[in-house]
Structure 1
């Protein structure tokens, strides 16, 4: 049977981009679910009816511009999504969280998420203890929050200011954005209506140039990351 990965688009600006291509290369069908649609982006709280996680082999909660600990979101769809990933884990379904999605996994399984002392936006060198799962090197970041590890989690990668990856059972959480390509970055730059880049003294053209320069380097590392996730994380035995 064909395996299927479900990407949860928690924010209409945060799509699966290069990750969908990588999963496709490994024989996965790709499904998507829009958690917050474009017409709700400026008022994202609200109830959401998610798909049944048991219909998928892998679930990937993606990024979002809001804090995962926002009270209104936790009382609505974030709380529901937290229960979804807990149910998925209990059913043996593999999980790959990206940025907000990684923070959601941390929060769901007993870690915490809080405002970071130093936001990370741009390309940051990342040190990895398991390059067969999370290759080291430059990865793209756009986040203001960071997690503490859930009980039993194993940290795989970090920058000086934040943990960047952990595993817990058949789940892998990433703080960085492996999915980013030039087109996705352009959507984020265009959608930066609160001036985050300018406030941090960052130049959008510099980010565009660096993303283009690193494209050939990042592409094989994304494939290694997905292969490592499928082999060493999703490939573990399902709980009985």
Structure 2
């Protein structure tokens, strides 16, 4: 089954989530979000996964790319191809379905627990957070998880296909998180946080992160009715 993964060309960090999709027998097809094909050009998609990005969905500089990706999301769901989304991906998903996103006053950083009404599709964590934007869910979505910062998980089936998205990062590995922290050093320090402490948190959670991501991916696949064989 072909699983189409939308990512920045320079940052294809699917981590533990993509690892689990491959373990379940999925064939990964990478799509550059700056040069997206139309939905009709996808090769028999069984799932569309939207990964994170260094971009901001609300930034006018990326409006054309956001419009193309939003159109792909809507076309996928209308064709009953499910959509899974992470961080920037869920902000894009929200916008595609009638919600919005915006820059927050302060970033959300480190391993944080979330408040949940569905511990299967949105376990309380703790989960990795490293973002400065907040999304507003569309009126058709159900919010399954929140933090003091904003929504953390939504599901939506308003266009005929099912979608799920998380603001946190279930996919991120320790090495990738450490690299993101290094790249975001100025933002992190400006927020009064210690980059070394964030990396320490990543290392402390390393032993559970892969298993937690695998369990969450399995739960999402079941919800989305993506019929991959058990790992």
Q: Considering the TM-score relative to the shorter chain, is it more than 0.5? A: yes
Show CA shifts across 1:24-43 (max 9, x none): 2222122222335xxxxxxx
Q: Determine the structure 2 residue equivalent to 1:189.
A: 181
Q: What do residues 46-69 of structure 1 show as CA deviations (whole Å, max 9, x unaligned)?
A: xx2426346211111111122101
Give distance in 2, aligned partners of 1:113 and 1:92.
25
**Aligned residue for 1:42?**
none
What TM-score does the superposition give when structure 2 sets the normalisation length? 0.88
Could you tell me whether the CA contact under 8 Å between 2:85 and 2:164 is conserved in 1?
yes
Shift of residue 166 of structure 1? 0.3
Is contact 1:61-1:101 (8 Å) kept?
Answer: yes
Counterpart of 1:210 (choices 194, 197, 201) is: 201
Specify the alignment match of 1:61 in structure 2. 50
- Alignment partner, residue 139 of structure 1: 127
Question: Is the CA contact 1:96–1:171 (under 8 Å) kept in the aligned structure 2?
Answer: yes
Report deviation, 1:186: 2.7
Q: Is the 8 A contact 1:13 1:188 kept in 2?
A: no
Counterpart of 1:98 in structure 2 is 86
Mark the runs of 5 or more structure 2 residues left unpaired by the alignment: none
Helix, strand or coil at the partner of 1:137 = coil
Partner of 1:50: 37
After alignment, is 52-61 or 144-153 more displaced?
A: 52-61
TM-score, L = length of structure 1: 0.85
Extract structure 1 runs of 4+ deviating beyond 4 A.
Answer: none
Q: Which runs of 5+ in 1 are unaligned?
A: 37-47
Name which of structure 1's ranges 94-103 and 117-126 shifts more when overlaid on structure 2: 117-126
CA distance in 2, matches of 1:171, 1:29: 20
Let me know the Cα RMSD of the aligned residues: 1.9
Query: Aligned pair count?
Result: 221
